[in-house]
Structure 1
Amino acid sequence: MSEVVSFKVKREIKQKMELYRTEVNWSEELRGFVEQKIAEIEAKKGVNKILQELKDADWGFQKGISSQLTREDRDADS
């Protein structure tokens, strides 16, 4: 089901929209813009949620483990 959305524009813009109405389907253009903007916002929120989950995740690594393992590996080669 569709809903009606309206918004205000400057008189000059409305006049230009009327002038170019045979060349541009304004309703279609505006619908497409709104849908694209919503998709962008939702994608950004999804990425931010994933990043926060990664940040909050307990990876089970102790601090300094990389240095410790590297040192042990070098000592094993000696």
Structure 2
Amino acid sequence: MEVVSFRIPPELKRKMKKVDINWSEEVRKFIEAKVKEYMREKALEEIDAMLASLPEAERGTAKKYVRDDRDSN
């Protein structure tokens, strides 16, 4: 595993010592969640960009395809 460090105010550090929490694990979980959230948002932006570049179908196209499929059986 890699090591990451950051600074916090001394008062916060004192308060953290009074709480029985595995801070490394909590920070790791938080970072993992933030990375997942970022990746999801980035994927949605890419999908939106791809969809925006597609030509628009005329109104009723999906309805026509469904009807054609049902009638072919």
TM-score bracket for the superposition, by shorter chain length:
0.7 to 0.9
Which of the pair has more CA radius of gyration? 1
For these two proteins, the number of residue pairs brought into alignment is 59
Aligned counterpart for 1:57 among listed residues 54, 59, 64? 54
Does residue 13 of structure 2 align to residue 14 of structure 1? yes
Question: Mind listing any 5+ residue stretches in structure 2 that lack a counterpart?
Answer: 60-73
What is residue 38 of structure 1 aligned with on the other side? 35
Match of 2:26 among 29, 39, 52: 29
| Identity rate, percent | 37
Aligned alpha-carbon RMSD (Å): 1.2
Gaps of 5+ in 1: 67-78
Superposition misfits of 4+ residues, deviation over 3 angstroms: none
Look up the SS of the partner of 1:30 in the other structure: helix
TM-score (norm 1): 0.70
SS of equivalent residue, structure 1 residue 16? helix
Q: Kindly state the Cα deviation for residue 58 of structure 1 after the two structures are TM-superposed.
A: 2.3
- For residue 5 of structure 1, give the secondary structure of its aligned residue in structure 2: coil
Give the CA deviation at 1:53. Answer: 0.3
Structure 2 residue matching 1:41: 3-state secondary structure: helix
Instruction: Say which structure, 1 or 2, has more relative contact order (CA 8 Å, 6+ apart).
Output: 1
